[in-house]
């Protein structure tokens, strides 16, 4: 809209800049932000710093976008996040109450397919690790009944001062196409609302902050070092020898003859040869000058190891359990066992518990009268650990012994470690009274292909 010729509603649009690289090729700027000189570990967040009622996340309201960008630019940082995510959910999930008839199976199948729940299960943990937030759009029909859900990227969501209203924007750098949602409530009448889960964050009431932000300056440095080396290679000149000629050549032929005399003695075949350069007086004699080698390739060599270690420690990971060789580390099996045990108890088990809570909230919202259990999973199998008393694929409380009621038919003999885990888990749940005999029999028959004789033997012995 214009008043007196002035446009008062013009929205500033981010531009993609192009420039000539000098070699005929075009170099395009990326859609990522250009990270400034500030401390990346101290974003400015205040409930009183708002624009149109929206609490700003960082000085420019783009701090979540920086978190996403650093995930892509630092290989060590993204590797740690992926490692943690896979360790937490790599074993998949199962329902606490297994479906025992066709109606229940169809209900769960329809829910998973309609809402892409398995995809949510795979990708929600990595976003939760990056942002410590989960944002899911809940849709209801006009009668207030659950219709569907859709996972949203936490970087697209901003909140008001009391976390009751949320604003969605696909591109906050343009700040266009804003959509307002209310917080989801079970009895709410909104056709669309947002389920928001914020992890506990010290001193933060509006936006949670991941604990690893203390090392984001090193994460940025990790990404920039490789870019520095790339630019150094592209922009440097790497001659080994320069020849100063005191006078101009009389003709092109003379220049080519001189050049040929030099190049004919280059390479391995010219090793040990003697070259004569002559002129009328020393001031008119060509001079050979050795060009100093560019040393920029050695920049940060002394700090890169420290950068890697700090990133791993910020995520609570000993680099050795990721297969990264650490200087001065013994690297033996017992060290890996201890390191992974500490990592699992301090990082993975609390994370798995928190993710289980989130997924069960979503099931409850969808009206599914069930809950999930995230299966235990170890990336480092215990058979490689010295002195371990656990066989491959089995947890300590699931080791097969002589007392385990198993027959030696082909079905059981050819089971994988994962199938053995499933077998023993079903027996344990039956023994604890979590499922009845009929439910256990269905799972053993359909899931593992056991015979009625084997099923009766196992369940009878465990009654």
Distance CA 246, CA 279 (A): 9
Reported confidence tier of residue 241, pLDDT bands at 50, 70, 90 = confident
Q: Tens of pLDDT along 205-232?
A: 899 999 999 999 999 988 888 887 787 7
DSSP structural state of residue 379: S
pLDDT of residue 223: 84
List C-alpha distances in Å: 11 to 1, 50, 52, 177.
11, 19, 15, 11
pLDDT of residue 341: 85
Lowest model confidence (mean pLDDT) among 26-30, 360-364, 401-405, 420-424: 26-30
Whether pTM > 0.85 for this model: the answer is: no
Q: Tens of pLDDT along 306-319?
A: 888 899 999 999 88
Distance CA 428, CA 298 (A): 58
Average pLDDT over residues 189-193: 93
Percent of the chain with pLDDT over 90: 34
Which of the pair, 150 or 319, is modelled with greater confidence?
150
Question: Where would I find the H helices in 168-292?
Answer: 216-235, 252-263
Q: Tens of pLDDT along 388-409?
A: 333 444 444 444 443 444 444 5
Which of the pair, 308 or 337, is modelled with greater confidence?
308
User: H or E segment at 165?
Assistant: strand 165-168
Beta strand 54-55 with 50-51 is antiparallel
pLDDT of residue 33: 65
Beta strand 18-20 with 133-140 is unpaired
Q: Tens of pLDDT along 414-447?
A: 666 667 777 777 887 787 777 888 888 888 877 7
Reported confidence tier of residue 21, pLDDT bands at 50, 70, 90 = very low
List C-alpha distances in Å: 57 to 45, 177, 180, 290, 461.
6, 18, 17, 54, 59
Q: Tens of pLDDT along 245-258?
A: 888 888 888 888 88
Lowest model confidence (mean pLDDT) among 125-134, 154-163, 219-228, 281-290: 281-290
pLDDT of residue 378: 75
Kindly tell me if the per-residue pLDDT of 194 is higher than 60: yes
Reported confidence tier of residue 325, pLDDT bands at 50, 70, 90 = low
pLDDT of residue 159: 94
Which of the pair, 327 or 352, is modelled with greater confidence?
352
Which of the pair, 77 or 5, is modelled with greater confidence?
77
Kindly tell me if the per-residue pLDDT of 148 is higher than 90: yes
């Amino acid at each position: 809209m214009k008043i007196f010729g002035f446009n008062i509603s013009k929205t500033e649009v981010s531009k993609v800049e192009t420039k000539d690289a000098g070699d005929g090729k075009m170099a395009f700027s990326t859609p990522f932000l250009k990270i400034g000189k500030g401390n990346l570990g101290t974003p400015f967040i205040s409930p009183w710093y708002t624009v149109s009622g929206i609490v700003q996340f960082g000085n420019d309201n783009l701090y979540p976008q920086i978190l996403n960008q650093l995930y892509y630019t630092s290989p060590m940082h993204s590797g740690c996040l992926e490692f943690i995510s896979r360790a937490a959910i790599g074993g998949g999930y199962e329902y606490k109450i297994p479906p025992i008839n066709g109606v229940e199976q169809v209900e769960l199948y329809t829910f998973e397919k309609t809402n892409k729940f398995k995809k949510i299960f795979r990708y929600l943990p990595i976003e939760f690790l990056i942002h410590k937030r989960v944002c899911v759009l809940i849709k209801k029909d006009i009668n207030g009944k659950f219709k569907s859900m859709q996972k949203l990227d936490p970087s697209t969501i901003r909140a008001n001062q009391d976390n009751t209203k949320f604003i969605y924007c696909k591109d906050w750098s343009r700040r266009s196409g804003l959509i307002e949602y209310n917080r989801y409530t079970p009895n709410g009448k909104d056709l669309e609302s947002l389920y928001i889960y914020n992890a506990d964050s010290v001193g933060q009431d509006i936006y949670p902050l991941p604990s690893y932000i203390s090392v984001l300056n090193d994460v940025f440095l990790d990404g920039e070092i490789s870019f520095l080396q790339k630019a150094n290679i592209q922009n440097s000149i790497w001659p080994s020898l320069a020849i100063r000629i005191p006078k101009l050549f009389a003709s092109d032929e003379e220049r080519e003859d001189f050049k040929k005399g030099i190049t004919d003695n280059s390479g391995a075949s010219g090793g040990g040869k003697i070259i004569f350069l002559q002129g009328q007086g020393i001031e008119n004699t060509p001079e050979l000058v050795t060009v100093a080698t560019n040393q920029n390739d050695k920049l940060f060599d002394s700090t890169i190891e420290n950068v890697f270690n700090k990133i791993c420690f910020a995520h609570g990971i000993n680099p050795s359990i990721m297969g990264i060789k650490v200087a001065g580390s013994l690297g033996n099996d017992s060290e890996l066992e201890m390191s992974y045990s500490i990592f699992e108890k301090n990082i993975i088990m609390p994370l798995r518990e928190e993710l289980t809570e989130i997924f069960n909230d979503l099931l409850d919202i969808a009206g599914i009268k069930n809950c999930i259990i995230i299966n235990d999973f170890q990336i480092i199998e215990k058979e490689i650990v010295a002195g371990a008393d656990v066989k491959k694929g089995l947890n300590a409380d699931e080791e097969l012994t002589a007392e385990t009621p198993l027959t030696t038919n082909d079905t059981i003999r050819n089971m994988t470690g994962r199938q053995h885990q499933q077998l023993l888990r079903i027996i344990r749940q039956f023994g604890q009274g979590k499922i009845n005999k009929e439910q256990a029999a269905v799972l053993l028959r359909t899931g593992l292909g056991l015979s009625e004789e084997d099923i009766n033997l196992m369940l009878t012995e465990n009654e």
